[in-house]
Structure 1
């Protein structure tokens, strides 16, 4: 295991996409587990999906603040606004950055590419530039940049499980291409400006208060409304579903271990740069996943016990931009951080179903 080289107590952390699924849960975990942490969060609160969910997540954070010693400042703006990013860095001088803000979704990127270039490319560039200039005039600057990548970067790779050592030059969506670009940009800035950075390739994150565009949430909405759900690739897809608490625990551990700055034989910095998979390392067949979801929705009272599930599902062909399987090799994560996501799909979907019942009454 790697030794921790960043103590988050009393530190200022800047988290982007803070009203998002992963961002809001990360804030809650940090506030509850790290004394005197100061979190600055930004989110543009766009309407890609129901804004009331984002407001609910922020409300959860505000309620948490009453019971902890840390602080939280929320800024409603976009990371594509270079002025606001520079202002945040100048005013708060964050030690650790966690960039989770991004336009998500594979299929949406096919019809709305502009949103991906603005947030995922220009926005991330603004973050990198702010990190670079945080060292101006001999200041200590940013100790660690952690940023979200995605399992989508593996594209049409045939080899499984996916390893961070694999070549990933065949994206099948613009979303995937922007995430791979983030990794390349981070590497260049790590090399040029000695910025310690770690990219995290997330695998199908799910759980309570998640994203409504994800299959488990969308299926639930449709089934509750007595609509038919479409199961792509005739149910032959396999996904490495990763529960939100496991993702957050992984991010928290990574935040505290920045890649070490060292120089090579030429006297120039060896890029302090790492990339890890965070996944459950146990891909589930989509039909089995839907069957478990149905059982847990009935158990939670979201669907009636006599619900005719078979008449509400339709097996259809693969969608453009999708891949048949995602499967994470998490051995490097286990080796370096002593951690492996292990929440079972049934437990995770049970928690989601109970939350859904409560949230939508």
Structure 2
């Protein structure tokens, strides 16, 4: 099976052989930071273009088709526009919080990357509470959104921020319980253990009905947590102009825009890891010949293929369903998804204790 562990280990050994331990650790941190920033830039360009192409495909139109071959350089042109655009700061804003909010949101998105396993042997930090770490850190993004809405000194921004706060806090409950379903089946919070437990089959298939229910609820809750349509109450353009980032422009707006798409990637990567095996190839029980053939496909292709499939599903939601009202959005969570999640977690506990999963 293809693994990047040899590469990462050789770089680690070379750094510690040629430098003192403190300097080697600092260089490793710098390399990781550069790789994460490069991944952010790549995701920003690719996902925005993917969004436009998916929407045009679903609406039977061409989409971007002027800049570059088939319009693929459109997002590069948009990025250059945002870089050179002047960043305006309105009067009577809280300048410290106004400038800090987009930085906080993008930092949270970066930190969540730590436990993700992009390929076999390629992970920033294999912490033993990986799932809990992701759930805890991701909830901090709402602080940046509330900070942006309040500091903008704009009623539309404040309304958008309050809606977003209520939405994210509500849907985190269902998302957390869905993730807990897989933790119960695996018996570990560690990301590498969860992936290894799916060596004989992905939890979506061998976890029976509770795993399927948890997967559906997770996708719905993840769509709501990332403020995506039909749950984009925080950015309802027809009502709130642009929601919590109405007053932002230039690179500050670009950071919010980038964080939204990176968060889509992160939640889909978590979903792919928990329910679809992460980098683990598609294995079926003891079918050794079939499993051996699947192992020839490199593990990064498995991980990114599953992740981008879930991203496509979330984009499919956006261009299919109309926007909900705020009361409908909260009713869906508190009256339907949360009770179903609570019953589902009890059911999966019985299945795990009885050993009824495959």
User: TM-score band (shorter)?
Assistant: under 0.3
Relative contact order, higher structure (CA 8 A, sep 6+): 2
TM-score of the superposed pair, with normalisation by structure 1: 0.27
Structure with the higher strand share, 1 or 2: 1
TM-score of the superposed pair, with normalisation by structure 2: 0.27
Structure with the higher helix share, 1 or 2: 2
Q: Which has the larger radius of gyration?
A: 2
